[in-house]
Chain A
Amino acid sequence: MKKLINKAEDVVPEALAGMAAAHADMIKVFTNPNYIVRADGPIQGKVGVISGGGSGHEPMHGGFVGMGMLDAACPGAVFTSPTPDQMLEATKAVNGGAGVLHIVKNYTGDVMNFEMAADLAKAEGIEVAAVVTNDDVAVKDSLYTAGRRGVGVTVIAEKMTGAAAEQRRSLKDVAAVCQKVNDLGRTMGMALTSCTVPHAGKPTFDLPEDEMEIGIGIHGEPGRKRMKLASAHEIVEMMAAAVVEDLPYKSGDEVLAFVNGMGGTPLIELYLIYNELENYLKGKGIKITRRLIGSYITSLEMAGCSLTLVKLDDELTKLWDAPVKTPGLRWGA
């Protein structure tokens, strides 16, 4: 294992300390239990929006705390869901009297820990709603699995939901926006390499030099299918077809396209992939009207990418364009 770390067990707290030092104008970091809140929160009368998950996906979620996006994020150990005490404290910290929305990625551990936290927060008199994101089309048969995983769409949902909360909409409305983004969004991911969890010390799975893994999630778990490495053109065609056919996205649709790097893929390749994606969608009559290209929901140093589409209407386009000021995403402010 070759990593820029001191001790494996100190990776999360030391990275949090670095975030706190670097972004004191936007966020505050609490430890024991660990959570990150907006520096200017809690905001009275505004729905608090929180999310959380294992660490190792940076900038998600902590990098999305700030004006126009999340009010708090709860980082767990690397690739391990945070614990209910973290979400309970974060929920209390961001509660401005209008209720708190939990955005939860559909992973068994995340769902169970957030459920326990919501029960505890409700017992303390805080109104809590939850939306579970589950946009991963790689998981086909949800009857026989834990259901589709929450992946790329989570970033888009956090942005748009945060913008809706900023407009002082009710908890019910804010939750409805988040649900809508999830319902109109689909994602497919792939990996060129595995990744190494610091405390494990070796790659999570073996992937030979000439092979790729299609349908990966974001926790270094293997995907659905292993194939010989193909060209970017072929890879995008295969992934985009799976995404487009699933919703389905139709000719005439306007979409937000999110080309995400898994952590170890350079931007030059992501732009190449974006070009392939735009050409593919053009051929289907689907128009990209908003886009996000970069590494925003990562899997440590894994090389690879995910493609997310979200069907847009006026409401979602405006929520996307609204100002946002966080360590990981910033425009208009």
Chain B
Amino acid sequence: MTISRDSIVDWIKAFAVAIEANKDYLTDLDSAIGDADHGANMHRGMQAAVGKLPTVADKDIGTILKTVGMTLVATVGGASGPLYGTLFMQLGTSTAGKMELSLSDWTAAVEAALGGVVARGKAAVGEKTMVDALTPALEALKAAAGGDILAALKASAAAAAAGRDSTIPLVARKGRASYVGERSAGHQDPGATSSHLLLQTAADTLR
């Protein structure tokens, strides 16, 4: 079984829907330790990305994902724009020319995406960022190599959820949340939360 191009398009739409449904929740999380704009910014960006989909839906997966990334860079702003923009652009570069993805293609793409996020944001695991959700998700995909794609996607979403929850006791060391220092402990990281939505919707839609 492979991941089809059409399901990649469905995934982008599902992520946009999930962001919209969680817009206020993400902003609430952000106002506790950041600047209260994560939900609104991601919503604006994903609406723009969905708006671009009709122009690229008949292209290869790489083009679709790169277009989403470039749209996010130009519309989101803040730290999320360059970070999610880089994530999608790296997914796109890794899948350039492909019309379907195997599990190893998808794993390689997620690895490139995480690498791009780390290079742009210079964060490591344990610093209360989206890296805390993405890293275990990638590890779960690698552990599932050679197995069933749907099971691997589910495992990566579950690992992202655990990674998201792991940010709650952490003291932020990157981004605006780092400025509240010890007071950031006890709050769930909004970036890790939206990153889990990304992988959860991937598990729900990629086929």
Contact = CB atoms under 8 A, between A and B. Distances in A.
A169 B174 CA distance: 36
B36 A204 contact: yes
Interface residues of B, number: 33
Given A77-B37, A224-B181, A82 B82 contact: no
B39 to A, nearest CB: 9
Given A112-B121, A144-B173, A79 B180 contact: no
A146 B31 contact: no
B78 interface: yes
Contacts of A77: 37, 40-41, 44, 77
B40 A109 contact: no
Contacts of B174: 108, 146
B181 A221 contact: no
A200 B37 contact: yes
Interface in B69-112: 73-83
Q: Please report whether the interface of chain A is mostly helix, strand, loop or mixed according to DSSP.
A: loop
A83 B76 contact: yes
A77 B82 CA distance: 15
A145 interface: yes
Contacts of A78: 37
B62 interface: no
A179 interface: no
Contacts of A224: 179-181
B35 interface: yes
Contacts of A80: 35, 37, 41, 77-78
Contacts of B120: 112
A100 interface: no
B77 A108 contact: no
Given A81-B81, A83-B74, A109-B82, A146 B175 contact: yes
Contact of A112 (B36, B44, B79): B79
Contact of B176 (A141, A144, A205, A219): A219
Contacts of A157: none
A113 interface: yes
B179 A139 contact: yes
Contacts of B36: 79, 197, 200, 204, 220
- State which size class the interface on A falls in: 35 or more
Nearest to B175: A108
Contacts of B81: 81, 83, 109, 112-113
Task: Name which of B35, B74, B180 has the most chain A CB atoms within 10 A of its CB.
Answer: B35
A272 B86 CA distance: 48
Contacts of B175: 108, 146
A109 B78 contact: yes
B178 A144 contact: yes
B190 interface: no
B87 to A, nearest CB: 13
B27 interface: yes
Nearest to A144: B173
A116 to B, nearest CB: 6
Contacts of B176: 107-108, 146, 217, 219, 221
Task: Name which of A84, A107, A108, A139 has the most chain B CB atoms within 10 A of its CB.
Answer: A108
Contacts of B44: 77
A48 interface: no
A111 to B, nearest CB: 9
B77 A222 contact: no
Contact of A221 (B35, B40, B80, B171): B35
Nearest to A138: B179
Contacts of B35: 79-80, 197, 204, 219-221
A46 interface: no
Interface string A201-225: 0001100000000000101111110
Contacts of A146: 173-176, 178-179
Interface of B: 27, 31, 33-37, 40-41, 44, 73-83, 120-121, 171, 173-176, 178-181, 183
Given A146-B173, A204-B31, A222-B180, 14 more contacts: A54-B77, A77-B44, A80-B77, A83-B73, A84-B74, A108-B79, A108-B121, A109-B79, A112-B79, A144-B178, A146-B178, A146-B179, A200-B37, A224-B181
- 4 nearest A-B pairs in the assembled complex, by CB-CB distance: A145-B178, A109-B79, A112-B82, A109-B78
